[in-house]
């Protein structure tokens, strides 16, 4: 069990467990983040409309990702698709779903005016998304080999590589 929490754990160590710890940790972080934002609004001096705009952008990215993942969205950290998805939002970064979660959380924090929620997003939820992305990268590397490594060199991790997005078309 302790191997699953180690960021250096090998993919097969995580896959032998019945619990998908990176997914569970992400759900816990998202839930705690929402509860903190809802119950501890502190007022951060940013208009709520800005939070709405950020939230809508996050949901638009989320929807765009769902179009390309389809059944793969409901998978665990270990890939469930037989092919490497590199088109659509995946031509810009390897983990646009995690990017959308981060943007959605930031939008909720801003909309509700929760400084504590914003701090939780920055200190816990974003590092958790990065952790899960790194775990997923290991699974994808093991499953797709050179195809994955070539793709990973071309696109950003959670954020797009600046100046290289046009080359990905």
Match 């469930």 to its residue by tokens: 80
DSSP labels for 23-72? HHHHHHHHHHHHHHHHH-----SS-HHHHHHHHHHHHHHHHHHHHHHGGG
Q: What is the pLDDT of residues 2-38, one digit of tens each?
A: 334 344 444 444 445 566 677 787 788 888 888 888 8
Question: What separation, in Å, do the N-terminal and C-terminal C-alpha atoms of the chain show?
Answer: 42
Domains of the chain: 2-168 (1.20.120.1630)
pLDDT at 1: 36
pLDDT bucket at 73, cuts 50 / 70 / 90: low
Predicted TM-score (pTM) of this structure: 0.76
Q: What is the pLDDT of residues 37-64, one digit of tens each?
A: 888 777 788 888 999 999 999 999 999 9
pLDDT at 85: 84
């Amino acid at each position: 069990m302790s191997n699953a929490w180690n960021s250096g754990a090998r993919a097969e160590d995580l896959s032998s467990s019945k619990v998908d710890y990176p997914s569970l940790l992400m759900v816990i972080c998202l839930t705690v983040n929402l509860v903190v934002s809802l119950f501890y609004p502190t007022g951060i001096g940013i208009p709520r409309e800005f939070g709405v705009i950020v939230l809508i952008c996050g949901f638009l990215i989320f929807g765009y990702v769902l179009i390309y993942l389809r059944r793969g969205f409901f998978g665990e950290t270990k890939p469930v698709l037989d092919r490497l998805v590199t088109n659509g939002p995946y031509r810009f970064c390897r983990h646009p779903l995690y990017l959308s979660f981060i943007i959605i959380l930031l939008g909720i924090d801003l909309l509700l005016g929760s400084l504590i929620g914003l701090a939780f997003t920055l200190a816990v939820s974003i590092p958790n998304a990065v952790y899960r992305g790194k775990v997923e990268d290991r699974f994808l590397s093991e499953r797709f080999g050179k195809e994955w490594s070539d793709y990973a060199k071309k696109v950003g991790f959670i954020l797009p590589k600046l100046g290289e997005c046009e080359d990905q078309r």
